[in-house]
Structure 1
């Protein structure tokens, strides 16, 4: 039990562990920079472009920027960002940040993949990195950062299955993709794993907002789910997900957050959150690039084994015992005894067992 508590605490506090231990969206009008006000100095500059969810999406863009801010505070490195408004802005934003002297440039989200690849080919002297994308042939000056998002999604699905009283739960996605499949099918599998333990049938309703920035659409979808009987809804929808959380507050139902601990957005309604420590990864990869000079040509993958995903330690809204049971499930995933599915085919195989 000591290890389980340490895992959750470490995730909640975003433990700093070495890069060796760890391993989507559209372009821009806002720019921000920052550096440590202490005596630490650095000539190193790191910059990022967001996807259309914006820097304050309460999700992975915000987490990435927080990671760069921590890097600046600890090393004195200069950090900057530009918010993206549409896909066509990505390349322009990367060029702007490169012209301003950035040494390492980040694209946050898989939708930045083409822009990052184009910029990297045009600027072989610069380093690039991207969150949530793995290239078939990774350029020598590009680092991909991926997460096994199906693992924390399985955990929160298990929580949902153990919590629902109506035996109906929901999932709201942003834009359908192989990446979001990890969240959906990991979640659905976790729900069904709990249902099997409980000896009952639980229905999972799934719908996509077709956007990572349309909070109104997210709210409308979730409101309908709640009105039709769902009492727990998990979102993997970026900025659209803030609408899902608003719907939960209005319906006084449970919602599950994503990427960051989103309990602060609705303390009485957020059941838990599927943590994906984007900021930690961005910080650690940037620090490694800063220290070693070149880190490209590879994809780094983070999951439960690396203590880079999970659920928050705070669990006061969960039914008694569910938190501990969920950590036991996480141990099975970590050991390899249980494999969380990330695709529809894997999910079908999982539930057929």
Structure 2
């Protein structure tokens, strides 16, 4: 893997624009998983967080976009060789490679997005110089499930994932719990297809926007679902194709980022999005490292600390019930104070 591929990004600020021509010598570096930095999802958000932190610190940064898992170890070795002070790795798929690199380089600070760095599952981090950044997305997905159930005209909503990793199924768990809570308080019987819990559900087997993603989405729509939640980076693009081909009035629920803002192709179909505020949390972690305030304690994003949330309804504002917004505010408050328990792999009630 050529070191030239890990080029430094960003020119020195123009002094005439209020910046300083002298660069900070702190060097953060960011490594994507196979989804790439243009996935309009978690890789892109994390990249933007590193970029904004570097700009604020007046430092350069390095990036490498993985094509597959075979790139991880070599990219990390090159980051180390090029003097990276803090290395951000994006996604659970990079956990093992990150832990190995961190153990071999205890002087470097690592920030691991969306994984606890606990590959031996003993409840402890595998390396002291890793800061895990995690998100209890089930809480926000619960709100999305409630909203989807309220919006559905067919009484069927659906979800599917890329692969049954905890950071994927946490969305599906929360979504299902939200639908079930809606049914309980409203006396309804909205069904969830594509996810039964306990790793039993519909998955594409990967995270590519390919024919398998489209066919999997079609499978969900053929079960009469009129709201669909694809979980797994670019696979939502397969759902967009399936929705267009169906000729039906189907709403999409986005994940990680607000799809309405990040992908104009979704504007007519996206009901809302389940947000992980990855850009902000990544930026703050890198800024702390750049200011010699690196904190290796795990961060968990919740509704209470705004680490997760629900995007606006945008073009669907006029299509949802008049009472839904107020109901969601009430449900959110009860999740935060513990009145409504939401279970996930991060929090067992």
Instruction: Place the TM-score, normalised by the shorter chain, in its bin.
Output: 0.7 to 0.9
Aligned pairs for 1:248-259 (under 5 A) are: 248-251=243-246, 252-259=249-256
Aligned pairs for 1:158-307 (under 5 A) are: 158-206=146-194, 207-251=202-246, 252-263=249-260, 264-296=264-296, 298-307=297-306
- Secondary structure of 1:81 counterpart: strand
Rounded to whole Å, the distance in 2 between the matches of 1:119 and 1:192 is: 43
Task: Tell me how far 1:314 sits from its aligned partner.
Answer: 4.4
Report which of the two structures shows the higher radius of gyration computed on alpha carbons: 2
Q: 2:81 aligns with which of 96, 99, 105?
A: 99
In the alignment, structure 2 segments of 5+ residues that lack a partner are 119-123, 195-201
Matching residue of 1:3: none
Greater relative contact order (CA < 8 Å, ≥ 6 in sequence) = 1
- Secondary structure of 1:128 counterpart: strand
Matching residue of 2:9: 34
Residues 137 and 68 of structure 1: CA distance in aligned 2, closer, same or farther (over 3 Å): closer
Residue pair 1:55, 1:61 contacting (<8 A) in 2 also: yes
Rounded to whole Å, the distance in 1 between the matches of 2:257 and 2:325 is: 18
Say yes or no: does 1:313 pair with 2:301: no
Matching residue of 2:125: 137
Shift >6 Å, 4+ stretches: none
Residue pair 1:215, 1:244 contacting (<8 A) in 2 also: no
Task: Tell me how far 1:79 sits from its aligned partner.
Answer: 2.0
Matching residue of 2:331: 329
Task: Tell me how far 1:138 sits from its aligned partner.
Answer: 4.0
Provide, for residues 86-115 of structure 1, a one-character-per-residue CA deviation record: whole Å limited to 9, x for no partner.
Answer: 222211111112222211001101111110
Comparing 273-282 with 201-210, greater Cα deviation is found at 201-210
Q: 2:29 aligns with which of 44, 47, 53?
A: 47
Residue pair 2:28, 2:54 contacting (<8 A) in 1 also: no
Rounded to whole Å, the distance in 2 between the matches of 1:30 and 1:226 is: 42
Rounded to whole Å, the distance in 2 between the matches of 1:249 and 1:277 is: 29
Rounded to whole Å, the distance in 2 between the matches of 1:162 and 1:70 is: 38
Residues 331 and 91 of structure 1: CA distance in aligned 2, closer, same or farther (over 3 Å): same
- Secondary structure of 1:257 counterpart: strand
Residues 74 and 219 of structure 1: CA distance in aligned 2, closer, same or farther (over 3 Å): same
Matching residue of 1:17: none
Rounded to whole Å, the distance in 2 between the matches of 1:281 and 1:275 is: 12
Task: Tell me how far 1:294 sits from its aligned partner.
Answer: 3.7
Task: Tell me how far 1:198 sits from its aligned partner.
Answer: 2.6
TM-score (norm 2): 0.85
TM-score (norm 1): 0.84
- Secondary structure of 1:340 counterpart: coil
Say yes or no: does 1:341 pair with 2:343: yes
Provide, for residues 129-152 of structure 1, a one-character-per-residue CA deviation record: whole Å limited to 9, x for no partner.
Answer: 101111223422111111101011
Equivalenced residues, count: 319
Rounded to whole Å, the distance in 2 between the matches of 1:42 and 1:137 is: 30
Task: Tell me how far 1:216 sits from its aligned partner.
Answer: 2.8
Rounded to whole Å, the distance in 2 between the matches of 1:146 and 1:60 is: 12
Task: Tell me how far 1:313 sits from its aligned partner.
Answer: 3.1
Provide, for residues 142-171 of structure 1, a one-character-per-residue CA deviation record: whole Å limited to 9, x for no partner.
Answer: 111111010111111111111111111111
In the alignment, structure 1 segments of 5+ residues that lack a partner are 1-27
Residues 316 and 327 of structure 1: CA distance in aligned 2, closer, same or farther (over 3 Å): farther
Task: Tell me how far 1:32 sits from its aligned partner.
Answer: 5.4
Task: Tell me how far 1:293 sits from its aligned partner.
Answer: 4.8
